[in-house]
Chain A
């Protein structure tokens, strides 16, 4: 029990020390610009189809479920307001975060974990390369930029899915739906919709990289790191979402 507790605190300490090393070397050469663009492509562009699919259908389902309930109160015309606020403030960032945690987080932890157990990370160090700069910083920068972008796209596609159902099922005209989507939105909502995925992006990649480069125990260890990375990232997103929301409500005075 004591040994496990000690190991847990060492792991937490390593997690934060990795973050400090990334911050410390962020603007120190070499900057690995090309590698960062490659990671932006892998994290952002290659996640786009699954994020698009998830958000489009979520928008449709949200409209379908809430539209019928709102119709009972004669408020189905305002389903666009509910959908836009839900998607931009919560569902867009959270769903994007969970999808990225599953796709990119698992992939990153598995890739770096494999590199660790096959001595590729040691080889990098032996050749005078800092693996944290080359492997972690590039991914973290890419994730911080791309996850908010994915979230914005998810918001847009979710609203598009909602518009489709609102028109097809509840006979709400696209023009009116668009007005109800845009009318309640404030700058604070947009801020919340951008700050959350930015933090989620950092948390997902940071966790995945930490799990990857601390992998031990061969291929079984790689599997364990991958699983832990996805579970921890998902929990951090869901629990973190509450606290981020609370803090943003205080700061933004919503």
Chain B
């Protein structure tokens, strides 16, 4: 009886071990690596948030079609934070404690992402950025790695002021939205103007409910600046450029634009059409030959098809490749370390270059790009009512920095508008 019992126990153990060995891959399939994030899927920032979600979904589908990571499938868990800093910390608590995600990507956008940084530092979790600006400047979290090609305000709009110096600007006018992001950019721009020796002849901050910009454009024209720096949000950008076209900004203006959000989006560009000609503005990616990073055009072709079905920006230049790259950053780090541990992954990312569809990325100590590469582009030969033209080379010519330059700046604005 006792022998029988011992044998049966041994047999059962062996059977159990055997089953466990066979069951392991099945268990692994049922236990995916969870990647958690949040983005604005409703509210004013939802246009970018939904692009970002689509790009991340595409990364998950791509990686799962290749067998996943560490033999496990990837599961993306996303929540709608409405672009609000009041929502994002609660969502990230839930992602960590209830959903028990393995990896985290920051909320889309600056303000909701900044709100989760103290928690990430306290919990010692790796966080990959998702189109945020200066998020780690106060927290100094050593496991933060931004996916966006900038570091400080200088890296964002420094090129604009460099162009101003080249064309002999002396007087500058500032127009900025009364929102945190625009104000940060404005502060940086004013410092750059001082450093460049430009005199400020007009400065106006406007509230987000402004309907008509005619009065401000008339005042700028009266101040006769050589250069106008604008830090605006999408709806304002359209209204400002339209008012410039209708009222005129004056022949003294050599450069107009700089920090206008929205001029990267299909809907805004279609709305403005030929009124964009001559405007110089920041961008993260344009389809110029100097920015043809491996894989980016193929990604954007696939993205366009998916974006049509999901009713989001079908160009996707500004956000989508960078959100896809956020996934690629995690992918390379996990593959190289064979680990999901935040400390291990952060150690790898601090000392290695990552290859992505937005080019190779290395980070400086604060987790921002070691070599920022925001480009200044000038709109050229844009016609009305042609959405496809923005996919062509030569329509958004890179005029700064030199390593991505595809054309020389045309100045003053009145001459550039004719081109």
Answer yes or no: do A and B interact. no
